[in-house]
Amino acid sequence: MFEHLTRLFFLFLFLAVSHLAAAKPDGRELFGYYCSGCHGEDGLGGIGLDINKEKLARELTDDYLRKTIRNGRPGRIMPAFETLSDAQVNAIVSFIRSWVGTEPELPVKTFSGNLEQGGKLFLENCSVCHGKDGTGGMGTGVTESRKRSHKIIPPGLNNQGFLAAATDSMLAEVIKNGRLESGMPAFMQLSEQQVADLVVFIRNWQDREQKPAPLNQEPAVVVESAYGFRETINNLKETIFANNYRIFPDRELEMGFFEEDEVNHKQVTIRACNFKLLYDLLNIEPRLGVVLPCRITVVEEADGSVKMIAANMHFIARIFNNAQLTNLFTQLHETQLEIMEEANF
């Protein structure tokens, strides 16, 4: 019987894999599933940048799109879709290309220019929007739901994913013609040599490896309390409030999931929010809500000992592929630790 079932299982597995391998990928469907969440169904952007027709026709080659899908933008939200097959990536690129029909023809050549001169030009012309070090504006994509510095946030130019995808010719094309829809001006006043200097300066950022910091593998921050259950809760609330957070009413972890008389009253979550910080963070990452609100849970054990438990913020930061958020979460992790230590003082 068991052997029979095993054979059946592997037959099913084989058929399923064969079916998946043989089916021709549907670019529209794949785009809808993998890309539209951030870029919109029509490519007008949102969390992600717009992939508008003008850009597609003028500067975004199929190779650029393929590499962008494969490598993503490390630290700038766009993930690297490493598990998609080549056929799937090509299907997505073909679907995007169908919006304009033709692929731009950009010459394949490596620019030579003066790095130092390029640096000066970058500082004068580009750094206001893209940052002195080319990291891009605060946040990403197109502004829709809250006020931000730009309608379309200037992309990070020192990003290894971007630099691997963009050719020198594409960089020159964007510098010379700008991107009117995003507010990027056309730098037509620059000479060919000055454009080349700028391209060389931007290209110089490539291959400076940005290794992610090793992950602290502790699933949570757990601190033994020196106080009783209620005292710990009160101490925590006082300390959180003193750190400029608004405190929400206490909630037992099980509240809303069991009848009131069945709820475990020895697991209480202290929830808090600093709305200024929240507003700023939502402008950097609109999906931040998936880890809200800031919280520390106080648990009393059967032996009467009390623990304070909070999430590993370093891990949470990593989920978002967002370098700006990572820095803020590192600070938040420190604040969280200080709060728990202070509550224990």
Identify whether the C-beta of residue 118 lies closer than 8 Å to the C-beta of residue 108: no
Residue whose CB is less far from another protein, 26 or 63: 26
Q: Which segment (31-39, 154-162, 175-183, 191-199) binds another protein by CB under 8 A?
A: 31-39
Q: Which segment (40-48, 85-93, 101-109, 178-186) binds another protein by CB under 8 A?
A: 40-48
When asked if residue 213 is in the footprint of another protein (CB under 8 A), the reply is no
Which of 3, 107, 211, 257 is the binder for another protein (CB under 8 A)? 257
When asked if residue 136 is in the footprint of another protein (CB under 8 A), the reply is no
Residue whose CB is less far from another protein, 79 or 104: 79
Closest distance of CB 229 from another protein, Å: 15
| Residue pointed to by tokens 């000479």 | 191
When asked if residue 91 is in the footprint of another protein (CB under 8 A), the reply is no
Distance between CA atoms of residues 12 and 268, nearest Å: 47
Q: Is the dihedral of CA 88, 94, 99, 103 positive or negative?
A: positive
Distance between CA atoms of residues 93 and 62, nearest Å: 6
When asked if residue 53 is in the footprint of another protein (CB under 8 A), the reply is no
Which of 207, 211, 217, 304 is the binder for another protein (CB under 8 A)? 217
Binding-site ranges for another protein (CB under 8 A): 2, 5-6, 9, 13, 16, 20, 32-34, 36-38, 40-41, 46-47, 79, 83, 144-147, 215, 217-220, 222, 246, 251, 253-258, 264, 267, 273, 275-276, 278-279, 282, 286-293, 295, 297, 299, 307, 309-312, 315, 318-321
